[in-house]
A and B are shown apart, each in its own frame.
Chain A
Amino acid sequence: ETGVTQTPRHLVMGMTNKKSLKCEQHLGHNAMYWYKQSAKKPLELMFVYNFKEQTENNSVPSRFSPECPNSSHLFLHLHTLQPEDSALYLCASSGGLGTSNEQFFGPGTRLTVL
């Protein structure tokens, strides 16, 4: 149990669908992250939230829309995705930005876009 949970674990969606990924951390952390992990590629940082405020958006297409209602919850809303968006989406949390605290990861959502 890493203290970071993600749902769903697997998701198959069509290009016209709208779906949301959910992440919850039970560690009392202040920073939360969305990453995309594709086969044989480095983890790609998508979004960062610190104390519920978005601090980073690494040129992510607008078809990905994050939401952070509080420090414990993070969502990634998906709409009109492309097949190349198929990947493992990982959520992580850490004590806070500007520190060397390690990040704790959730198990990920395996997304397939048809």
Chain B
Amino acid sequence: GQNIDQPTEMTATEGAIVQINCTYQTSGFNGLFWYQQHAGEAPTFLSYNVLDGLEEKGRFSSFLSRSKGYSYLLLKELQMKDSASYLCAAQDSNYQLIWGAGTKLIIKP
């Protein structure tokens, strides 16, 4: 079957760095997405990886290893506004998104 695993909740300190991991099993693979969702709001697109390696975009970076079925989202210089849920989604051979349950990130001062 198809499955996405990511931690349910993480806590980090303002100004620090946090890494949110995601492992996936899909029928075929066409890329890995990360979305951010603040409470009561729409998910918003953060990153897309289809090749192995690290993609950096400001304070946020995303990494992919296709051979290991593994990705992570790295958030640097954490700010209070980064408190949100982070959703990992893998795209299968039919380009359908298989979603994880999300990681709730709590930032403490």
Residues of A within 8 A of B (CB): 2, 4, 40-43, 45, 56, 90, 97-100, 102-108
Inter-chain contact B44/A100, CB cutoff 8 Å:
no
Number of B interface residues at 8 Å Cβ cutoff, please give it: 23
> How far apart are the CA atoms of A80 and B8 in the complex, in Å?
33
Q: A40-B101, A108-B42 are in contact. Are A102 and B33 (CB under 8 A)?
A: yes
**Count of chain A to chain B residue pairs whose CB atoms are closer than 8 Å in the complex:** 45
Which B residue's beta carbon lies closest to that of A110? B40
Inter-chain contact A102/B42, CB cutoff 8 Å:
no
The interface residues of chain A lying within 8 Å CB-to-CB of B98 are 42
> How far apart are the CA atoms of A104 and B43 in the complex, in Å?
8
> At the interface, yes or no: B30 with Cβ under 8 Å from chain A?
yes
- What are 15 A-B pairs at a CB distance below 8 A? A40-B101, A42-B4, A42-B101, A42-B102, A43-B43, A43-B87, A43-B99, A45-B97, A56-B96, A99-B95, A100-B31, A100-B50, A100-B91, A102-B45, A105-B42
The interface residues of chain A lying within 8 Å CB-to-CB of B4 are 42
Minimum Cβ distance to chain B for residue A3 (Å): 10
